Chains A and B, each alone.
Chain A
C-alpha cells in the first residue's frame, strides 16, 4: 500500500522526480483549469498504464515508444473531445496544453518504468496515484496564484471588498508565468525541510 502512496508525497512526480513540469506550470494561473487539467492527466495516465500493461507481452521492445505514444494520444484525443463538449470555456483556456498531455513526461515515465513490467491492476493504481500526485501540486499552486493574484477562487470572490477599500491590492505578479516557477521552487524547499524527505 505504501508503495502506491509514494507519489503523493515522497516521490511526487513534479516536485521530486521533476516530471511533467511544463503543463503543471502553464495551467495554474487559476484554480479551475488546474483542476480540469489534473483530472485529465489522471484519467489518461491511469488508463494508458492499464492498456500498456495488458499488452506488455506482445509489444516488440524496438517499437514500444511509438506504441506507447499511440495509446496515449488515443486517450488524449478522447479527453480533448470530452472537454470541448462539456466544459468548452476551460477547454479554450487550456488550448494546446490538453494536446501536450501526450508528451507529458509523467505519463511516458510511468509507462516505461512501471506498466511495462507489472500486472494490469497495480499499473492502474500506480497511474492513478501518480496522476493524483501531479494534481495535488497543480491545485496547491493554482489556489495560491488565483487567491493572491485575483482575490478569487473558482471565479468566486474570496478577498472581502473591505480589504480593497482599506488599500489592499491584488498581486499582479502572481498571474505572470515566472511566478509559477518560483512558487514550485518554494514548495520543493518546504518539502525538503522535512529531514525524512531529504536525500
Chain B
C-alpha cells in the first residue's frame, strides 16, 4: 500500500510531466488562456491517461515484451514483438480518444465546444504517449501500480495547467515588456514554476 502512495506522490510532484519532462507542452501553452477551459482539458488528459496506461500495460505485459507470449504455448516463448510497441501504443491511444470524444459530445455539449479542436489533438498529445512509454520503462510489477502511476501523472498535469492558467489570467493586468508578451513570458513562467517544483525532490 505504501508503495502505491509513493508512486502517486512521486508522479504528481517529483516526476511531474510538465515540469520535469516537458510532456504535453503544446496544448499546455495553447489552452491555458483561462482556468475553466484549462481545467476541462486537464480532466480530459487525466482521464485518457488513466484509461490508456493500464490498457497499454496489459498489452505490453502479455503481448509485446520479450517472452510475453509464453502463455499462448511453446511457440510464443522465444517471440519478441517489442519492435511493435510504438505502433500498437499509438493505435490504442487513437482509438480511446475517439471513444472519449463521442462520449463527451453526448454528455456535455458545452465542454465539447469549449475543448473544440483540442479534443482530437489529445491523441497526438505527447503526454499520453509519453506516459505509456515511461510506464514501460519503469517495469511496474502489477497493473494496479500502472493505474496509480497514470492517475498521478494525470493529476500532476492537471495541477500544472490549472496553476499556469490562473497565473496567466492575472498576467493580463501586468506590465510586461512588449517583445516578451505572449509566448516569451509563458515559457519563462513555466521555467520558474519548474524551479519551484524542484524543491519537492527532497520528499
Query: Contact at B19–A177, with CB atoms within 8 Å?
Result: yes
Q: Given that A65-B123, A69-B124, A81-B83 are contacting pairs, would A99 and B191 also be in contact in the complex, using a CB cutoff of 8 Å?
A: no
Within 8 A of A (CB), among B40-86: 83, 85-86
For chain B residues 7-66, which have a beta carbon within 8 Å of chain A? 19-26, 29-30
Q: Is the CB of B195 within 8 A of A178?
A: yes
Q: Is the interface of B mostly helix, strand, loop or mixed?
A: helix
Q: How many whole Å from B48's CB to the nearest CB in chain A? A: 13
Number of interface residues of B (CB under 8 A): 45
Contact status A178-B191, CB under 8 Å: yes
CB B93 to nearest CB in A, in angstroms, measures 9
Q: Is the interface on chain A under 10, 10 to 19, 20 to 34, or 35 or more residues?
A: 35 or more
Interface contact B90-A188, CB-CB below 8 Å: no
CA distance A77 to B85 in the complex (A): 9
B24 to chain A: which residues have CB within 8 Å?
22
Which of A21, A99, A193 has a CB less than 8 Å from the CB of B179? Answer: A193
Q: How far is the CA of A143 from the CA of B186 in the complex (A)?
A: 23
Question: Could you tell me which B residues sit within 8 Å of A by CB distance?
Answer: 19-26, 29-30, 83, 85-87, 90-91, 94, 120, 123-126, 128-130, 133-134, 137, 177-180, 183-188, 190-195, 198
Q: Is the CB of B194 within 8 A of A73?
A: no
Partner of A96, one of B87, B133, B180, B198: B133
Q: Pull 5 A–B residue pairs with CB atoms less than 8 Å apart, ordered by A.
A: A21-B25, A177-B20, A181-B22, A185-B185, A189-B177
Identify A103's interface contact among B128, B179, B185, B187, CB under 8 A. Answer: B128
